[in-house]
Amino acid sequence: MKSVALAIEEPTPRGIAAGIARLITSGDLAPGDRLPTVRALAAELGVSPATVSHAWQTLAGAGLIVSRGRSGSTVRSAPREWLPLRYRDFEGGTDAPLDLSRGTPDPALLPGLGDALGRVRLGAETASYQLKPDIPELHDLLRATWPSPVESITVTNGALDAIDRALATLVRYGDRVVVESPTFPPFIDLLEQYGLEGVPVAMDDEGMHPEAFAAALNSGPRIVLLQPRAHNPTGISMSPARAQHLAELLRRSRTADSAVVIEDDHSGAISVSPDVSLATWLPDRVLHVRSFSKTHGPDLRIGALGGARDLVDRVVARRLLGPGWTSRMMQAILFDLLSDATEHVQAAREAYAGRQSAFARAMGEQGIPLRVGDGLNAWLPVGDERAAMVSLATAGIRVARGAPFQLVPDRPHVRVTVGLIDAGMAEIALALATAARA
């Protein structure tokens, strides 16, 4: 192992943290390796113990080391093996006072569940294995608010459950899947789990780039997996014109004539962009997924899958052999929320839009122009991801590394959950700009 002190070019808290981070990135410091004590390293560098302690706090805030008081500090060990590969970057807690790494909604903007819980009354629905999976009133409400005419809808345990179930019924090992680049990390994990080959397509401000999409279709994909609104991580929403263009390219393609589109509308009603779907032009080849986690709370674990009847029925039939259905009690609670908490959701949508606008404006004032995103997240280019995270940890901020979002290596980025910034925007933008240049 390389000497820790020799790797430190500047004996300041930031310099010490940066030197340790380089050792971890290079592999000279491996997971589980014990670091020198604060006093020992301070003596070797000729600085105060408080200087080293501050560096240790920075590294812990960046998720690189674990400090256990008098027991010493070690390089963070590899996460538990059962975690999907790209989930591991988000595993564990953080000491950062401001955690902008999670991509989760602001709890203060979620509607309360108390009134809905008090109003829900179910009888025979909770004691039957034979009833239809979905309660009729929720099914009818979803159909009335779907972005395009739809033959069949079923309720699932969240958006990712719907996508997983769809892939399980539609793909075979070795199939190709066209996917946005960058994309949501669990999508890449799912592709690897099913032995699928991802075909990345670059994006512009309106969604998948048409020329790149057309080239990807030449690979003969079985699935096109995309996020029509509030794309995670970029915040891009697909324009209706772009959706029509992509649908036409897919309709004309001879090499992708059997490809099915899976759309993940994960942010739903907190998105300020038009509710678009390629199903408007390709009704027989699109499965549209809607989630209520960002609008009503992740722990509801409810999403919905809609599309052509033959496609949806395959998912429903397979699911009946496993979990069977999503709790009808939870469905009833969601129906009550969708019927009663509309003003609350509208207020959340306006709050998130305001935060996105303020963030883009504040970053522009720091000399980093960004488009105004939709939904919760922003995609910030940086010089070096690890250096940026260490710099931000010094300021008490944690963000998500960009690498897990990329199917193929690309320019370094970090994802910032802008939706959680309800105060101090100017100071946060300054810290982010400093980190981007680190």
The pLDDT score that the predictor gives to residue 164 is: 95
> DSSP character for 328?
H
The pLDDT score that the predictor gives to residue 308 is: 96
Q: Are residues 184 and 272 in the same domain?
A: yes
Q: Residues 6 or more apart from 426 whose CB is under 8 A from it?
A: 362, 365
| Terminal Cα distance for the chain, rounded | 26
Q: Would you say residue 125 lies in a domain?
A: no
Q: Are residues 326 and 353 in the same domain?
A: no
- The H or E element spanning position 303 is strand 303-307
Phi, psi for residue 309 in degrees, rounded to 5: -60, -40
Q: What percent of the chain has pLDDT over 70?
A: 93
Amino acid identity for residue 397 in this structure: I
| Residue that is last in its domain, among 51, 75, 99 | 75
The pLDDT score that the predictor gives to residue 289 is: 98
Q: Would you say residue 22 lies in a domain?
A: yes
| Residue that is last in its domain, among 54, 75, 96 | 75
Amino acid identity for residue 291 in this structure: S
User: Are the C-beta atoms of 59 and 65 separated by less than 8 Å?
Assistant: yes
The pLDDT score that the predictor gives to residue 80 is: 56
Q: Are residues 64 and 95 in the same domain?
A: no
Q: Would you say residue 293 lies in a domain?
A: yes
As for how many domains the chain has, the answer is 3
pTM recorded for the entire structure: 0.83
For 242, the token pair is 């772009």
The pLDDT score that the predictor gives to residue 122 is: 67
Return the CATH number at 221.
Answer: 3.40.640.10
Q: Are residues 407 and 304 in the same domain?
A: no
Q: Are residues 167 and 105 in the same domain?
A: no
User: Are the C-beta atoms of 232 and 260 separated by less than 8 Å?
Assistant: no
Query: Is 90 exceeded by the pLDDT of residue 178?
Result: yes
User: Are the C-beta atoms of 200 and 179 separated by less than 8 Å?
Assistant: yes
Q: Would you say residue 121 lies in a domain?
A: no
Return the CATH number at 385.
Answer: 3.90.1150.10
Q: Are residues 300 and 366 in the same domain?
A: no
The pLDDT score that the predictor gives to residue 126 is: 66
Q: Are residues 71 and 160 in the same domain?
A: no
Q: Would you say residue 114 lies in a domain?
A: no
Q: Would you say residue 269 lies in a domain?
A: yes
Q: By C-alpha distance, which of 324, 360, 253, 303 is closest to 138?
A: 303
| Residue that is last in its domain, among 75, 94, 117 | 75
Q: Are residues 280 and 305 in the same domain?
A: yes
Distance CA 185, CA 198 (A): 12
Distance CA 99, CA 395 (A): 11
Return the CATH number at 36.
Answer: 1.10.10.10
Range of the domain at 325: 133-340
Report the chain's mean pLDDT, rounded to a whole number: 90
Q: Please compute the mean of the pLDDT values over residues 239-256 and round it to a whole number.
A: 97
For 206, the token pair is 């309106």
Q: Print burial letters for 326-361: b (CB count within 10 Å at least 16), e (below 16).
A: bbbebbbbbbbbbeebeebbeebbebbbebbebbbe
Higher pLDDT, 357 or 93: 357
Q: Are residues 184 and 53 in the same domain?
A: no
> DSSP character for 35?
P
Q: Print burial letters for 89-98: b (CB count within 10 Å at least 16), e (below 16).
A: bbeeebbbeb
For 250, the token pair is 């897919």
The arrangement of strands across the sheet holding 260-265 comes to 152-156, 303-307, 286-291, 260-265, 223-226, 176-181, 197-204, 207-208
Tens of pLDDT, residues 5-20:
888 888 888 888 888 8
Q: Are residues 302 and 210 in the same domain?
A: yes
Q: Would you say residue 117 lies in a domain?
A: no
For 438, the token pair is 């680190």
Q: 201: helix, coil or strand? A: strand
Query: Is 90 exceeded by the pLDDT of residue 3?
Result: no
Q: Would you say residue 126 lies in a domain?
A: no
Tens of pLDDT, residues 266-324:
999 999 999 999 999 999 999 999 999 999 999 889 999 999 999 999 999 988 888 88
Name all contacts of 3-11 with Cβ < 8 Å and 24+ positions apart. 4/29, 4/35, 4/36, 4/41, 5/36, 5/41, 5/44, 5/45, 8/45, 11/45, 11/46, 11/47, 11/51
The pLDDT score that the predictor gives to residue 72 is: 82
Query: Is 70 exceeded by the pLDDT of residue 212?
Result: yes
Lowest mean pLDDT among 191-200, 280-289, 338-347: 338-347
98-99 and 397-398 strand pairing: parallel
Quick one: pLDDT band at residue 89, thresholds 50, 70, 90?
low
Q: What percent of the chain has pLDDT over 90?
A: 63
Q: Residues 6 or more apart from 402 whose CB is under 8 A from it?
A: 182, 233, 379, 382, 385, 410, 412, 413, 414, 415
Vertex 162, ends 251 and 326: CA angle to 5°?
140
Q: Residues 6 or more apart from 61 whose CB is under 8 A from it?
A: 94, 95, 96, 393, 394, 396, 398
Phi, psi for residue 207 in degrees, rounded to 5: 125, -155
Q: Residues 6 or more apart from 412 whose CB is under 8 A from it?
A: 381, 382, 383, 384, 385, 388, 402, 403
Distance CA 138, CA 106 (A): 25
The pLDDT score that the predictor gives to residue 259 is: 97
Query: Is 90 exceeded by the pLDDT of residue 57?
Result: no
For 147, the token pair is 């972005």
Q: Are residues 349 and 264 in the same domain?
A: no
Q: Are residues 179 and 255 in the same domain?
A: yes
